[in-house]
Chains A and B, each alone.
Chain A
């Protein structure tokens, strides 16, 4: 069974750092891009960022709201994607979900057309 499990969420003080993990099983993790999404309490989904597979250079994209504070990395040998969160703010409080994002090539460019496997999320609370 293809599965993703997030971990690392906790209560943390503003300004502190936290690293979340997204551990995959049941599929060839290294072949896929991984996306992080968050959902603040009672709110909608917010796209946080993506890390490409090594086939597509393993580079990352981040939302403006987290750029400069968050980084995404991956360890394909362990089938884990990480979300490193620094300088945390109260507005970062959310459930953080990871998902497998599928790539397609169209007219000479590629894009990620859908998150087909999701974890259940891990909760981050930023509060003093």
Chain B
């Protein structure tokens, strides 16, 4: 199975900060990676697919990059409504797997 190592597990930042989350795959997954945002008590929401494609309607401050084994998710200017847990998911090989999640808090 492909292991997805996501870091950090938690992150505290101030409004307006640039925030970066990493996701590393245990083997090459091409660009078959998506990013999700989950707010407390809510279902996850798809933000980015194929590593860097922004889902329609998602604010442009969210950005994804990377290919192969190393991927990055960035919020260019953190907003209060971005407080959530973020997950990556690989969809290159079954079983698909999620990263462990990054809990983002406001400092």
Contacts and interface: CB of A to CB of B under 8 A. Distances in A.
Contacts of B100: 44
Interface string B44-74: 1110011000010000000000000000000
Contact of B98 (A45, A49, A61, A62): A45
A91 interface: no
Interface string B28-51: 001010101010001111100110
A63 B96 CA distance: 8
Contact of A116 (B30, B38, B46): B46
Interface of B: 1, 30, 32, 34, 36, 38, 42-46, 49-50, 55, 85, 87, 89, 91-92, 94-101
Interface of A: 35, 37, 44-47, 49-50, 61-64, 97, 99, 102, 104, 106, 111-116, 118-121
16 contacts: A45-B38, A45-B44, A45-B98, A46-B98, A47-B96, A50-B94, A64-B1, A97-B43, A99-B44, A112-B91, A114-B46, A114-B49, A115-B46, A116-B46, A118-B43, A120-B42
